[in-house]
Amino acid sequence: MSTGILCLVHLHKRNPPVSMLVVKVESEYFKKAAGKTFFTCEEGLMIREVIEHAIERGEAKTFRARSIGKNAEGLIVAQFFITWSFKVRSQK
């Protein structure tokens, strides 16, 4: 969700409209996630650049975003890599 919300922020009310789709999910686990775990993605600017490039070129572009999960002590317990595809929707 931490990667998806960044995608949605950059696509909201976009003209032309751009579709987004998850094309791959990868994960790594380092510790047992006991208690609250918080996931963050710090690649919002890179996501925006990929979306802009997809619009400028009129072709599908992908981006592999990283989401890091940390426990309450700040230790990394897992990381996920979500590959998103962005494509300008056809205008009817």
State the DSSP code for 89. Answer: P
pLDDT tens for the chain, residues 1 to 92: 899 999 999 999 988 999 999 999 999 999 998 899 999 999 999 999 999 999 999 999 999 999 999 999 999 999 999 999 999 987 66
Cβ count within 10 A of residue 56:
10
What is the reported pLDDT for 90?
A: 79
Q: For the chain, which domains are there?
A: 2-88 (3.10.129.10)
Q: Model's pTM, two decimal places?
A: 0.89
What is the reported pLDDT for 69?
A: 97
What is the reported pLDDT for 92?
A: 62
Here the tokens at position 20 are: 């987004």
What is the reported pLDDT for 84?
A: 98
Secondary structure (3-state) at 86:
strand
* Closest among 30, 26, 28, 19 to 64, alpha carbons compared: 26
